[in-house]
Every structure is written in structure tokens, then in C-alpha cells.
Chain A
Amino acid sequence: MNKLKKFGKKNIGFIFIIPWLIGFLVFKLYPFMSSLYYSFTDYNLFAGMTEGFTLQNYKDVFTVPVELTALKTTFKYAFMTVPMKLVFALFIAYILNFKLKGVNLFRTIYYVPSILGGSVAIAVLWKALFNDNGLIRSGFALIGIDAPHFMSDPKWALLMISILRVWQFGSAMVVFLAALKGVSQDLYEAAAIDGASKTRQFFSITLPLITPVVFYNLVTQLVQAFQEFNGPYIITRGGPLGSTTLMSLLVYNNAFTGYDMGKASAQAWVLFVILMIFTMISFWSQKHWVYYADDEN
């Protein structure tokens, strides 16, 4: 009895995580595992399952043109959007990190798009802005440029979707801003005394010191970018010639219009594995470029 009581007392904290544990097991682990299971079958919600263990779904992801293109497009999208977003965010944060009047106003202006951006309303707005008669093309026409046909040109449609996300750099910017504020001024002063120019200061002091935050933003934005759905679904529905069919859209189409659960699960898993690889690479590469304040270096 005493031992039990002691055990209970020692592990009382466990009680607090029980809700999470239930949630994890029921809503995350179980679906995760069953998704893996389904990916090896040809389970169709209406036709049922005919084949047992089969690798066909996975093979298809890399051979069927539509699927392979979706994979490539997702990559293109992620590696176009995330760097652009981070660069903008850091750039603006850097400029904002200055005792200017109205910093708060600017901060709000840059942040509002993030708040609204994921909504259907904004996707609709984007449609209005980028179609052939829309604002963007009219604007360019004013200065004599024949802007591309974003809605119908496969080469440009993805950029339009990307811009929607990059426009929402506010959240990343705010994080960078907080990080920049945390960089001690002493360092800048010391560098200045030594004759370092502003640019040099930025690259040698600022950047290295905020690498943890860069890392954090990089990983979270990457995860988000790989899952993009609203934009492509509402604005282009997969786009001209499938040029904006991201993996998540493909999974949705297969699962909820085709009811091909097996195929959709395999596609989702491929996406997941690739994302995991990138995340792990990022984590592993940390020690080479991320500088934590409590490191010995």
C-alpha cells in the first residue's frame, strides 16, 4: 500500500496529461497508423477493399504524371514561398527595429494580412486581383507592362498562390522583431568601435545571434507550406494544367471526391516522409549554423 501511494504521489503529474494522452492516442496515433495501413491497400470508401498489401499506391506517386507533378509542385511552392517569406520578414523586422515614430502602426499594418490571410475571404480577393481584368494586370498596364496571365499561365499561377502566402509574412516578422530586440546593443557598439560597417554588423552579429529564431521560423513555415490547401482550392482549383495542384489538394481530391482512401493515404505519407526528412536535416544542420546563447562557443 505504501509503495503504491508513493508511486501515486510521485507521478501525480500524470493526471494532468491524461486528456492529452487520450487525444494523442485516439486522434493522432490511431489515425496515423491506420493511414499507414490504408496506404498499402486499394481501399475505396464505396467499393471496399479488394487487394491486401500492395505497393501500387506508392509506385503511382512517383510514376503517374499527375501525382509526380503534384509532388514537384509542392516542393517548388515550399522552396519559393518560405525563403521569400523569411527574407521579407527579416528585412522588414530589421528596418522596424529602430526607434522610429509609429513603429506600432507599421507593425500592425504588416501583421494584419497574417490574421486575415488564411481566410476564404482573402482567397476570393486574390481571385479578383489576379484575373485578366484584375487589379494587378491593370496596375502593370498603367506603367506599360503586359503582366502575365496569372490565372491561365501555368508558369505564373503558382507564383500567384505563393504571393498570397508571402503577403502574410507578418507573423514571421513579429517573431524576428522580438528576436532582434533581444540582441544586445553592446555588441553593435563594440563592433562599431572596431570599424565594422552596418552591413558587416548585420552579417556577423545580428544574423548569427538570431539563428535559433531563423531555425524556428524556417521549420514552422516549411511544415505549413507543405500543407497549403485553401489558396489553391479556392483560387485556381488546382490551376491551369495542374500547375497549382499541391499535394494536399491532390490528397483531398483523391480522398473526398474519388473516395480512393488507399491512394490518398499513400500520397499523404509520401508528403509526410519528405517533410520529416527536411525537418530532420534542419535539426541536424542546427549545430552547424544555429548559435544558441547557452552554447559553449
Chain B
Amino acid sequence: MSNNIDNNQNNVDITPEVNTGASEKVAMAKPSGQSDTLKKANKNLKRRRAISTFMRYFVLIVVGCIMIYPLVWMVGACFKQNSEIFSSMNPIPIKATLDGFKNAMKSYGGNINIWKAMLNTYSYVIPMVILTVVSSVVTAYGFARFKFIGHNVLFALMMAMLFLPQVVLNVPQYMLFNEFGWIGSDFYLALIVPTAFATETYFIFMLIQFLRNVPKELEESAKIDGCNVFQILIKIIVPMIMPAVVSCALFKFMWSSNDFLGPLLYVNTPAKYPATIFVKLSMDSDAGFDWNRVLATSLISIMPNILVFFAAQNQFIDGISAGGVKG
């Protein structure tokens, strides 16, 4: 449609319906020469524009610095000597040292160290992501494209689950998993198995939103060509909603790798601890308290998440937007 209104008022030689703010009346474009008042008006405008832009940048930069500073400081602190960490606000270490990282590599009696912990994390995060994606896509397809008996009731129930706090379910789920024998399972059963059953309502919701925007024509013609519903799902639907699927996968990856309460309840063996529990463990078990070691351990544990994020930024952002904004 029309241009972004804020950005193009530098030249008066433009079609008159595009307007600036305030009470300037733009005269018909004159091919040559400008009246004095017009020149002054434009100058005023330019200045106001410049100030506005400057203010925006200023706020963005200041707030941005405040936002990012804790992380920058954290990285710097990992390289500092312990005594130096709290002595100044400067993130750059005066006497850089790798002690923090060296100590972070420590294993607890050979049983578990940061790398093993991270491997543990991904050993269940990846199955969880795959299972979540598959089950969510299947469910979304079912709800979005079909009318079946009980559709509305079940759909409403599903949406209601969005608002069900996990807090209410923790206790009885724990007891249920206990009956199944999944507590302390070596295969993280209590964490993985539920994801095969589309328990993340947010993703189903997001996929359904996305699906609603996909035109049905392709499916119709495929049906005419003789494809059954399963083939339609795999050959047509999935490719079309790929961006949303990728978003789901990325989000699930992030959330699961940050999950603390789940492993806290269901993982009992230190050798099987994931990174989140390990970071807490590294705080508790050593004598003395080396902040540089603790922060280094923390930093390493979130490295994969940072890398994944930077690699897939756009998908993350698109995904979130798709969920929040209809249509």
C-alpha cells in the first residue's frame, strides 16, 4: 500500500496525498522553485524527523545495552579471576584467566561432567522434539481439516488445556509415572513418552492457526486424483506448513533443554543428570564458591541454545508471530 508514512518526507515533490503529521499543508508540487515558507516548513520537518529518529535510536540503544549487558558481563566474568569478578562493572577482565573454564571441565568423581550432562540433555531433548512435532502435526491436521463426531467438544477441551497450569498436574503425574515405573528411568521415559501424545497444546494451536491459512484447493485436487487422507497429510500439508513445523521444533528444543523441574523430579541418578541439573549441582557440591567456574559452567550449558537461536533466528520470530497474530 502506501509508503511508511514516517520515512519519506524529505522531498516535497511527491504526490500530494501523502502527508506529514502536524498541520502542514502540502501545496501542489511545483516542478521548480519552492516558496520560502515551504522551505522553512521542510527544514522544520526535517529537524523534527531527525530528532524523532535520534530519539528512537537512543532509546533502542540504551535499552538494548541494558538488556544485553548481563550476558556480556557473564561471558567476561568467566574469564576473570575470582577476586576480580565483583570488583568492577567492566566486563573485560584485567587479568584474564582460563581457570573458570578449566575447573568447569571437572567431573564429579568421573561420573558426570559438563559434556556428559549436555549429552544427557540432548539424548532426551531430540526424541522429545521429534515426537512432539509428529504428534502435534497429526493432531492439528485432524482438528483443522476434518469434522468428526465430537469435534467441537474435543476442540474446546484442547484449547482449554492451554490454560491448565502444569502445577496442578505435577503431583498426580508424578504418582502416575511412579505406577508405570518411570521414575528414575534410564531412558527418561517420564519426560519422553508424554510428548508422543501431543501434550504441548501450544504447538497444536500454532499449527492449526497456520493450517487455516493454507488454501484447500491443493488438497481438493489431490483428493480428486485419488490420494487418501494420509497421503495428503504427508505429501501436501506437511510441506506447506514446514515453516511452522520448524518453529515448533525449535521452540520445543529450547524449552526442553531448559527444563529444570522435569528432570529434578524424574531423574535420580547423577550420571544421568542433564545440563540444567548439572549446573545446579556444580553450585552445590564443590567446597568454596568459584563464581568464574559456576558462570563458565552455566555459559557452556547454554551455548548450544545460543548457537541454535542464531542459526534459526527468523524461524523463531516467524513462529512466535504466527501464534500470536491471527491470519
Contacts and interface: CB of A to CB of B under 8 A. Distances in A.
Decide if A and B touch, CB cutoff 8 A: yes
Interface of A: 10-17, 19-24, 26-28, 30-32, 34-35, 38, 45, 92, 95-96, 98-100, 106-113, 115-116, 118-122, 124-126, 128-129, 133-135, 138-139, 142, 167, 171, 174-175, 177-179, 182, 184-186, 188-189, 192-193, 195-198, 212-213, 216-217, 219, 223, 226-227, 229-230, 233-234, 247-248, 251-252, 255-256, 261, 264-265, 268-269, 271-272, 275-276, 279, 293
Contact of A192 (B5, B7, B60, B146): B5
Contact of A19 (B197, B229, B283, B299): B197
Contact of B64 (A110, A134, A252, A293): A110
B201 to A, nearest CB: 9
Contacts of B53: 98, 100
B95 to A, nearest CB: 18
B260 A124 contact: no
A124 B60 contact: no
Contacts of B261: 229-230, 252
A182 to B, nearest CB: 6
B298 A213 contact: no
A22 B194 CA distance: 10
Contact of A100 (B56, B313, B316): B56
State which size class the interface on B falls in: 35 or more
A12 B149 contact: no
Given A119-B258, A182-B325, A275-B163, 15 more contacts: A19-B135, A19-B138, A20-B204, A23-B197, A35-B172, A38-B172, A113-B67, A119-B260, A121-B302, A124-B294, A138-B88, A192-B21, A256-B174, A264-B171, A271-B165
The binding surface of chain A is classed by DSSP as helix
A195 to B, nearest CB: 6
> Which of B6, B67, B139 is most buried by chain A, counting CB atoms within 10 A of its CB?
B67
A25 to B, nearest CB: 9
B258 to A, nearest CB: 4
Interface stretch (B27-35, B37-45, B122-130, B154-162): B154-162
A272 B170 CA distance: 13
Interface of B: 1-7, 17-23, 53, 56-57, 59-60, 63-64, 67-68, 70-71, 73-74, 77, 85-86, 88-89, 135, 138-139, 141-143, 145-151, 154, 157-158, 161-176, 194, 196-199, 204, 229, 233, 254-255, 258, 260-261, 265, 276-277, 279-280, 283, 291, 294-295, 298-299, 301-302, 305-306, 309-310, 313, 316-317, 320-321, 323-327
Given A189-B5, A265-B171, A92 B148 contact: no
Given A20-B204, A28-B169, A115-B309, A189 B2 contact: yes
Nearest to B302: A121
A120 B276 contact: yes
Given A30-B176, A35-B171, A116-B71, A138 B163 contact: no
Contacts of A264: 171
Contacts of A121: 279, 298-299, 301-302
Contacts of A35: 168-169, 171-172
Contacts, number: 298
The binding surface of chain B is classed by DSSP as helix
A12 B67 contact: no
14 contacts: A13-B148, A19-B138, A27-B194, A31-B169, A31-B176, A109-B64, A109-B68, A111-B313, A115-B316, A120-B260, A128-B74, A128-B291, A138-B89, A268-B167
A110 B321 CA distance: 15
B30 to A, nearest CB: 21
B149 A11 contact: yes
Given A95-B56, A125-B70, A186-B2, A17 B154 contact: yes
Contacts of B21: 192, 196-198
Given A119-B302, A121-B301, A251-B167, A107 B197 contact: no
Given A27-B197, A197-B21, A34 B172 contact: yes
Contact of A265 (B6, B56, B172): B172
